[in-house]
Structure 1
Amino acid sequence: MKKLLFPILLLAINCVLNAQDSTVIKSQVRHSIDELRDFVALPNDALNADDIDANLMWLKNKFSGRGFNTSILETENLPLFFAALPMDDSKPTILFYMHLDGQSVDATKWDQSNPYETVLKSKDGDQWKQESFDSLNNDINYNWRLFGRSTSDDKGPIVMFLNAIDLLKKNNVTVPFNVKVILDSEEEKSSKPLAKAVKDYRELLMADFLVINDGPVHVSGQPTIIYGCRGITTLSLTTFGPIKPQHSGHYGNYAPNPGFWLAQLLATMKDKDGRVTIPGYYEGIHFDETTQNILKSVPDSDQEISERLQFKTADKVGSFYQEALQYPSLNLRGLGSGWIGNQTRTIVPATATAELDLRLVPESDGDRLKSLVKKHIKDQGFFITDDVPTKEERLAHDKIVMLKEGTVTDAFRTDLDNGYGNFLVNTLKNKFKDDIVQIRIMGGTVPISPFVNELKIPAFIVPMVNPDNNQHSPNENLRIGQIAYGIQTFYSILSSSIN
């Protein structure tokens, strides 16, 4: 009998402790919701400097009130926000990156009158039903959601971090790290001033490792750590026919059609399976067995992806989704010539334009890939110009492309066996008692490669928000349960020691 009593007693104690822990977290979540509503109420369009100033002042007040030393770091455009707890040279330093700016809004596309006024909603069948915030005073339903611009991207994680700091202080936890935070105000427009700013403030920003809190967890909902992200650059290609659009009855079969020139050119860049045919485009990319095992461990379903996106057969750049992300892409993101739809005209167009984006991986330098594309275009017999061709150039060359290049945002990727990465994986595994989804590199781009390149530190993305958050789109939202997840994630990281 005594042998049975101890396990039963231990189970009872654990249940009480878990209930207490749940109550404490829910109380902090409730506070976070009010704080997030206050933060979201400040418009944060990066195109409006006045918006950013108001957000910076809010952040200065909130971080200073929690014991951080704060600074507004001037850049070539909009400033960065920096905060740090008092330093101790005996501790390793962790640097957190998030961003305070948000995408512009078109209020007419939202299911609420003001995207900057947070709305609480519950799911009623397939419909969302608005709820009163007073209904959260007695209990909190983690499946309810907060709708508003930047609730998830990226004000939510900032508020989760602040409230994790509150809990650490309430519990008298000694943080085993020096803690620094850098908040970007131009992430939504590619953070162009960031590279120079990191050089200018290098000593201030130095850390042992970088944790980026942006983007959603894996679609499975499991805790997620991402070891890198692809970079990006762009190309704009315009082909030319007659100097002005011409009547297709008079000049069809005679005046060259720039749409066909462009279509034929684009068709030479990829094979029928979607692989880039330009020599050297995939050079340097290979995977060892360990890497392949990590890629295959991500709980994706290629069948579910194809059903959700409604296509039968995926491109064959990789043999499955995660493998495809390890290669640079060549994407046709926009295509136009003449008029279409109700505006269709019987003309031979004057021009045709294709907009390309090239997603980059660490093995592929963006300038090098653009050079390969340009060489390929020349090899197809096109004359390349960086401006509208002159009459003399038009008469001297059959096929002309005006090519405009975008800037390069580099990719980054940290080794899968990095010690700080192992610390993050083990910390989340111990906290949530769940498998951690480890993603070698994500498909999108977070413009933080200057930190990696200048500071020479490992970097990891630890996302907090729900995968169906509609970031960048109307009706952006944050599941309340993700607030609890984010607070616990930050708390666990900041209360765990690196062995």
Structure 2
Amino acid sequence: MKHTIIFLFVFVFLQKGGLLAQSDGDNFLNNSVKTEHFELLQEFLSIPNDANYPEQITENINWLSDKFNELEFNTAILETEALPLFFAEKLINENLPTVLFYMHFDGQPVDLSKWDQESPYNPVVKMKKGEGWEKVENPDFKNLKEDWRIFARSASDDKGPIAMFLSALQVLQSQGMSPKFNIKVILDSMEEKGSPVLAPAVADHKSVLASDYLVVFDGPMHDSGLPTLLYGVRGITRLRLEVFGPSKPQHSGHFGNYAPNPVFRTAELLASMKDENGKVIIPGFYDGIEIDENAKKIMEAVPDDERGIRKRAGFAKPEQVGGNYQESIQYPSLSVLGIQSGWVGKETRTIVPDKVIVEMDIRTVPETNSNRLIELVRNHIEGQGFTVLD
């Protein structure tokens, strides 16, 4: 899988008559997938990258600085109100256009109980075996197998694309080849936390980041395995609900049937936001979204294996917001990201909880205004008999 991605990425850079000034050695692509590229990826994946720990971000930035400096990039740290961003730049020719590449190097927090290996920061090569995965002992990267995968935190999202980017640049450098554009790179350190400082950082450093084109290397491969160019993705707006019951947890033996249980109230509230087919039924939520027949034909032509998608994701029936996968993501979505209340497992207590916390997001599309959608959700909550305090 990984070697295919690297090959395709290099191929994009190296097409004859394309983006590069050609040199001798047209056959070098056959040798571009080398053990050192995978060692680079494994080295990068071995560095913890939880943005809740600033020291981990610093270690990643130091590693990135070394690798980009080896490729003759100028590097810098862009300070923000929280964690810094990493920046690199290589001027090929001031008369050429400039492409800004965005990626992120932070990863989701780790739940060790969910990992079937010593550590998510100790990359392991595995191969498919039945319904599971089996470790490949001493993998030979010169003889890759199609069903091999590298298991580690951020192997795909989003350290993999950074390693592929560096590997492609290394290949270019080794062949004495130069892109026909100037390169700028900005690497986010808090993307998995919603990139809270990215927008102000872009405003503060707009002259540094100024470019003619923006390419984002973050997102899944298409189901077909073919190289894909997307012209946009949905935006994000976060919401946090706190639904209150009694002022403090109360004993269920004394207050069950009397003290209002915020868990049931919250369940009723959330259920009122969507119908049984997954469509948001808050009035006006989908206003402004119009998909004509020509657009529908284009989306229907995308080679999505929806049965395979559902099988891998582990659900039998999709929500019915759109006629197919591509159509469904043309609409704004409303999702519950997590719910917290009381205690569970060995810590379960016989209490009526005092509150429920619900983390949600709205994925926006060009036709929608996030502030308007938030206001619609707020109005809906009030319409269900709740008092909104903030």
| TM-score normalized by the length of structure 2 | 0.81
Instruction: Give percent identity, aligned residues only.
Output: 50
Mapped to 2, the partners of 1:90 and 1:19 lie a distance apart of 26
Please report how far the alpha carbon of residue 245 of structure 1 lies from its aligned counterpart in structure 2 after TM superposition: 5.2
Counterpart in the other structure of 2:61: 56
Counterpart in the other structure of 1:98: 103
- Aligned equivalent of 1:273, options 256, 277, 282: 277
Q: Is 2:83 the partner of 1:78?
A: yes
Give CA deviations for 1:112-158 in whole Å, capped at 9, x if unaligned: 3233233333445544133215x346x34454333333332222222
Mapped to 2, the partners of 1:296 and 1:186 lie a distance apart of 35
- Aligned equivalent of 1:181, options 173, 181, 185: 185
Q: 1:105 aligns to what SS in structure 2?
A: coil
Q: 2:203 aligns to what SS in structure 1?
A: helix
Residue identity matched to 1:369: L
Please report how far the alpha carbon of residue 256 of structure 1 lies from its aligned counterpart in structure 2 after TM superposition: 4.3
Q: What is the number of residues matched between the two proteins?
A: 366
Residue identity matched to 1:115: P
Q: Which moved more, 1:342-351 or 1:274-283?
A: 342-351
Please report how far the alpha carbon of residue 171 of structure 1 lies from its aligned counterpart in structure 2 after TM superposition: 3.1
Mapped to 1, the partners of 2:225 and 2:371 lie a distance apart of 36
Residue identity matched to 2:101: F
Counterpart in the other structure of 1:3: none
- Any unmatched runs of 5+ in structure 2? 1-23
Distance 1:123 1:320, change over 3 A: closer
Please report how far the alpha carbon of residue 39 of structure 1 lies from its aligned counterpart in structure 2 after TM superposition: 2.3
- Aligned equivalent of 1:297, options 273, 278, 301: 301
- Aligned equivalent of 2:30, options 20, 23, 26: 23
Counterpart in the other structure of 1:410: none
Counterpart in the other structure of 2:373: 369
* Contact 1:81 1:184 survives alignment (8 Å): yes
Counterpart in the other structure of 1:413: none
Give CA deviations for 1:24-63 in whole Å, capped at 9, x if unaligned: 223xx32201222222233222222222222222222221
Please report how far the alpha carbon of residue 96 of structure 1 lies from its aligned counterpart in structure 2 after TM superposition: 0.9
* Contact 2:224 2:305 survives alignment (8 Å): no
Mapped to 2, the partners of 1:367 and 1:162 lie a distance apart of 39
Q: Which moved more, 1:90-99 or 1:17-26?
A: 17-26
Counterpart in the other structure of 2:334: 330
Please report how far the alpha carbon of residue 202 of structure 1 lies from its aligned counterpart in structure 2 after TM superposition: 0.7
Q: Is 2:325 the partner of 1:321?
A: yes
- Any unmatched runs of 5+ in structure 1? 1-16, 387-499
Residue identity matched to 2:109: S
Q: 2:199 aligns to what SS in structure 1?
A: helix
Mapped to 1, the partners of 2:145 and 2:317 lie a distance apart of 40
Mapped to 1, the partners of 2:109 and 2:348 lie a distance apart of 31
Please report how far the alpha carbon of residue 210 of structure 1 lies from its aligned counterpart in structure 2 after TM superposition: 0.8
* Contact 1:123 1:129 survives alignment (8 Å): no
Mapped to 2, the partners of 1:42 and 1:345 lie a distance apart of 39
Mapped to 2, the partners of 1:114 and 1:345 lie a distance apart of 32
Mapped to 2, the partners of 1:341 and 1:113 lie a distance apart of 25
Mapped to 1, the partners of 2:75 and 2:188 lie a distance apart of 14
Please report how far the alpha carbon of residue 191 of structure 1 lies from its aligned counterpart in structure 2 after TM superposition: 1.8
Distance 1:263 1:88, change over 3 A: same
Residue identity matched to 1:89: E
Mapped to 2, the partners of 1:188 and 1:58 lie a distance apart of 20
| TM-score normalized by the length of structure 1 | 0.65
Mapped to 1, the partners of 2:174 and 2:345 lie a distance apart of 62
Counterpart in the other structure of 2:225: 221
Distance 1:221 1:266, change over 3 A: same
Mapped to 1, the partners of 2:256 and 2:120 lie a distance apart of 50
* Contact 2:234 2:364 survives alignment (8 Å): yes
* Contact 1:82 1:181 survives alignment (8 Å): yes
Where relative contact order (Cα < 8 A, 6+ residues apart) is larger, the structure is 1
Distance 1:94 1:275, change over 3 A: same
Mapped to 2, the partners of 1:207 and 1:64 lie a distance apart of 21
Residue identity matched to 2:74: N
- Aligned equivalent of 1:232, options 214, 231, 236: 236
Counterpart in the other structure of 1:445: none
Mapped to 1, the partners of 2:251 and 2:123 lie a distance apart of 54
Counterpart in the other structure of 1:116: 121
Counterpart in the other structure of 2:17: none
Mapped to 2, the partners of 1:38 and 1:309 lie a distance apart of 29
Task: Compare CA radii of gyration and give the structure with the larger one.
Answer: 1
* Contact 2:25 2:175 survives alignment (8 Å): no
Counterpart in the other structure of 1:10: none
Distance 1:201 1:356, change over 3 A: closer
Counterpart in the other structure of 1:392: none
* Contact 2:249 2:353 survives alignment (8 Å): yes
* Contact 2:158 2:218 survives alignment (8 Å): yes
Give CA deviations for 1:383-432 in whole Å, capped at 9, x if unaligned: 2213xxxxxxxxxxxxxxxxxxxxxxxxxxxxxxxxxxxxxxxxxxxxxx
Counterpart in the other structure of 2:134: 128
Mapped to 1, the partners of 2:251 and 2:233 lie a distance apart of 48
- Aligned equivalent of 2:160, options 156, 159, 163: 156
Mapped to 1, the partners of 2:246 and 2:160 lie a distance apart of 53
Distance 1:370 1:69, change over 3 A: same
Mapped to 1, the partners of 2:25 and 2:303 lie a distance apart of 29
Give the RMSD, CA atoms, in angstroms: 3.1
Mapped to 2, the partners of 1:94 and 1:233 lie a distance apart of 27
Mapped to 1, the partners of 2:96 and 2:171 lie a distance apart of 21
Distance 1:301 1:250, change over 3 A: same
